[in-house]
């Protein structure tokens, strides 16, 4: 059993699947749907993910179907980094497959439903954050993932980069989901397209950690860049720096 965010329709008194919701309302009746934390039975995929992956090599399925299954299982290799919330004993954990980019973190994006948001948001930003959370609650998970429009809200709080003590602003945005990973991401706009567009939209300064591989007009997710502005990683090829950071 685990607490999980679900699509809850108060009028129908039930949980709805993503395909039972259109524009924030139930297909049946057109009633408002909101995100709600509820106790659910959960399958512990992590407990047997490796068996599922190994088993795919023993069955007579097409390569395309097997690849879909591997993507669904979603095994990732990387590192969990802990960022201390500034002037607080609280911490926010982030899982990343690209720890080599840690010196290029320009902001953090946290799911609007994250349990710490209410605690870390100062009074000066409370109203704006609450309004944004109310908007997100009316959206289904599918709508949030597919959304092309860039939306977000600065919480007024900061975390500290554990590698260089840089102050990093904490934002919330609908594209980060509480039920995926830790519900928080470290944003590296010079190397990630979505982070780049978010930074441009909200005028967040971008740190270039890959030299000529980043031209300022688009993110470059390469692992072949030569690191710069990266302290002890300077001069290393990104893919080689991953293990060093871990």
Residues 156-202: tens digit of each pLDDT:
999 999 999 999 999 999 999 887 889 999 999 999 999 999 999 99
What's the CA gap between 141 and 151, in Å, rounded?
15
| Cα 214 to chain centroid, rounded | 22
What's the mean pLDDT in 88-109? 97
pLDDT surpasses 80 at 25: yes
Indicate whether this model's pTM tops 0.85. no
Q: Please report which residue ranges of 85-192 form alpha helices under DSSP H.
A: 117-120, 126-137, 141-146
Say which residue the tokens 């990266």 belong to: 230
Amino acid 161: pLDDT: 98
Supply the Cα-derived Rg of the chain in whole angstroms: 20
What's the mean pLDDT in 109-120? 95
pLDDT surpasses 80 at 44: no
45 Cβ neighbours under 8 A, 6+ residues apart:
52, 73
Amino acid 147: pLDDT: 78
Handedness of CA 90, 92, 93, 98 (dihedral sign): negative
Q: In terms of residues, how long is the chain?
A: 246
**Phi, psi (5° rounding) for residue 158?**
-135, 150
Task: Give the tens place of pLDDT for each residue, 65-74.
Answer: 999 998 888 7
pLDDT surpasses 80 at 118: yes
């Amino acid at each position: 059993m685990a607490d999980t965010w679900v699509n809850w329709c108060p009028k129908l008194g039930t949980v709805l699947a993503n395909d039972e919701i259109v524009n924030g309302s139930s297909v049946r009746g057109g009633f408002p749907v909101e995100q709600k934390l509820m106790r659910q039975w959960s399958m512990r995929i992590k407990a047997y993910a490796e068996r599922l992956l190994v088993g795919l090599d023993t069955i007579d399925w097409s390569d395309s179907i097997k690849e879909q299954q591997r993507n669904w299982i979603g095994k990732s290799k990387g590192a969990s980094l802990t960022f201390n919330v500034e002037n607080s004993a609280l911490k926010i954990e982030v899982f990343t497959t690209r720890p080599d980019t840690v010196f290029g973190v320009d902001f953090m994006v946290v799911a609007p439903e994250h349990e710490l948001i209410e605690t870390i948001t100062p009074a000066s930003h409370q109203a704006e954050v609450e309004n944004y959370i109310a908007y997100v609650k009316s959206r289904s998970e599918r709508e949030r993932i597919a959304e092309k429009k860039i939306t977000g809200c600065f919480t007024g709080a900061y975390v500290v980069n554990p590698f260089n003590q840089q102050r990093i602003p904490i934002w919330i945005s609908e594209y980060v989901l509480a039920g995926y990973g830790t519900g928080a991401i470290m944003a590296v706009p010079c190397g990630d397209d979505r982070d780049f567009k978010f930074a441009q939209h909200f005028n967040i300064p971008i740190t270039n950690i890959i030299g000529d591989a980043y031209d300022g007009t688009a993110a470059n997710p390469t692992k072949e860049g030569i690191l710069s502005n990266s302290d002890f990683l300077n001069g290393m090829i990104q893919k080689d720096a991953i293990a060093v950071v871990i």
